[in-house]
C-alpha cells in the first residue's frame, strides 16, 4: 500500500527541527514507504537533513519561519494559522497534500486549528484527544478524552466510547474491545448523572463492535483489564498527568536508591536486566502520539519533550491510522449508533 505523505510541523516541540527530522528519519528507516512534507524554516530543515540522507528523496520542504509559541493562546494562534508551521501542516491535510499531520507544538492551538480546518465528522458533536498508555499486559490501553473537552455530557461520552473502540481495534486487533467509563467507583450507583446515563446507553447497545464492561477506577487504568477508558477531558488530563508523574517518581526513586551506597550499586548491576525492562515500559517515548479522533483527517500530537524515538512513534501512529482508515471505521460505527438509537437528542 502506498501511503499518503505525512506533514511534519518541524518547528514544534521543545527540541525543534533537529529532533523532529531525526524522528521522521528513524521512522523511515523502519518503514521505507513513508514520505513527508516538512514544514518550517528551509535552511534549518536542510541542515538537519544532512545527517539523514534517507529522508531527502522522501521529503518535500514547505518553507515557513513563523512558529506557534508554547504558551500562545489558541485564539491568537488561530489568527496566524496561514503563516505558522503548525497551521500549514494541518492545512496540507485539508487540501489533500498530506494524509496526516504530526506536531509537537502547543496542544490547544493544534486542536483549535485542526477543528477549524478539518471540521468534526458528521454525526459527532466533538473530537477527542486519545492516547495509548502502558499496562501490565502486552497491549496498551486507549484513554480519551485527555483534555480537548473540559465538560462532557452522556452523548459525548457515548461517542468517545465508539471512537476509542474503533481505534482499539486497529491497535490491539480485538474485534470487540473492552470499554469502561472512568468513575470514582465500580458500583452502578456511583458517578455523575452524565456518567450513569452514558453507562445505561452503552449497556443497551447490542450492535456496537465493543463489549461495554461498566466502570473503572483510576488506579486500575494500567492493569490491562480493559482496552478503552472513556472520560471527560478534565478528568482524563488529571489522570494522565498523575500516571506520568507516578512513573517519573518510581524511576527517580530507583535511581536514587541504586546510587545511595556501594552495596546499592552492586545490587543495581545484579538487577539491571529487570530495571532496564521497567525503564523501557515506563518510558513515555515508547507510547508517544496522541490522536485527535473525530475529525475529517488524521492529526497526531507528539509530546513536546519527546526524543527522536518518541517522534518516530508518533509518525508511526499517524501512518497506522491512515493504513487502517480510522475515519471510515468511526463513520461506520456512528451509523450503528444511529441505528441503535444511542444518539438520541439530549
Span 192-240, pLDDT tens digits: 999 999 999 999 887 888 999 999 999 999 898 999 999 999 999 999 8
Compute φ and ψ for 72, nearest 5 degrees. -75, 140
pLDDT score of 46 = 93
pLDDT score of 4 = 81
Contact 83, 63 (CB under 8 A): no
Above 50 in pLDDT, residue 346?
Answer: no
Which segments of 31-99 does DSSP mark as H helices, in order?
Answer: 42-49, 53-56, 74-79, 85-94
pLDDT score of 337 = 64
Domains by residue range for the chain, with CATH: 1-122+294-324 (3.40.718.10), 125-292 (3.40.718.10)
pLDDT score of 328 = 86
Q: Sign of the CA dihedral 44, 49, 55, 57?
A: positive
Report the alpha-carbon angle 75-81-84, nearest 5.
120
Amino acid at each position: 500500500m502506498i501511503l499518503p505523505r505525512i506533514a511534519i510541523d518541524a518547528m514544534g516541540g521543545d527540541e525543534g527541527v533537529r529532533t523532529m527530522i531525526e524522528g521522521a528519519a528513524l521512522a523511515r528507516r523502519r518503514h521505507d514507504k513513508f514520505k513527508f512534507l516538512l514544514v518550517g524554516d528551509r535552511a534549518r530543515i536542510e541542515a538537519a537533513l544532512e545527517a539523514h540522507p534517507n529522508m531527502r528523496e522522501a521529503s518535500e520542504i514547505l518553507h515557513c519561519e513563523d512558529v506557534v509559541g508554547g504558551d500562545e493562546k489558541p485564539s491568537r494562534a488561530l489568527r496566524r494559522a496561514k503563516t505558522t508551521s503548525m497551521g500549514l501542516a494541518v492545512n496540507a491535510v485539508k487540501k489533500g497534500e498530506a494524509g496526516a499531520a504530526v506536531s509537537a507544538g502547543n496542544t490547544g492551538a493544534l486542536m483549535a486549528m485542526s477543528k477549524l480546518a478539518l471540521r468534526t465528522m458528521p454525526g459527532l458533536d466533538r473530537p477527542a484527544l486519545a492516547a495509548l498508555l502502558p499496562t501490565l499486559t502486552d497491549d496498551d490501553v486507549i484513554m480519551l478524552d485527555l483534555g480537548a473537552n473540559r465538560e462532557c455530557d452522556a452523548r459525548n461520552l457515548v461517542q468517545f466510547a465508539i471512537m476509542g473502540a474503533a481505534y482499539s481495534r486497529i491497535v490491539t486487533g480485538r474485534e470487540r474491545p473492552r470499554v469502561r467509563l472512568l468513575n470514582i467507583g465500580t458500583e452502578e450507583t456511583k458517578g455523575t448523572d452524565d456518567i450513569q446515563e452514558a453507562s445505561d446507553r452503552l449497556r443497551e447497545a447490542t450492535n456496537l463492535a465493543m463489549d461495554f464492561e461498566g466502570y473503572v477506577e483510576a488506579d486500575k487504568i494500567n492493569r490491562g483489564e480493559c482496552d478503552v477508558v472513556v472520560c471527560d477531558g478534565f478528568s482524563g488530563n488529571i489522570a494522565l498527568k498523575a500516571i506520568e508523574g507516578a512513573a517519573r517518581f518510581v524511576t527517580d526513586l530507583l535511581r536514587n536508591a541504586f546510587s545511595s551506597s556501594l552495596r546499592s550499586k552492586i545490587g543495581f548491576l545484579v538487577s539491571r536486566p529487570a530495571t532496564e525492562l521497567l525503564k523501557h515500559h515506563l518510558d513515555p517515548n515508547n507510547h508517544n502520539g496522541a490522536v485527535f479522533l473525530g475529525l475529517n483527517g488524521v492529526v497526531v500530537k507528539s509530546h513536546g519533550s519527546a526524543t527522536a524515538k518518541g517522534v518516530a512513534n508518533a509518525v508511526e501512529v499517524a501512518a497506522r491510522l491512515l493504513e487502517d482508515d480510522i475515519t471510515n471505521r468511526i463513520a461506520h460505527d456512528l451509523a450503528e449508533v444511529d441505528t441503535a438509537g444511542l444518539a438520541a437528542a439530549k
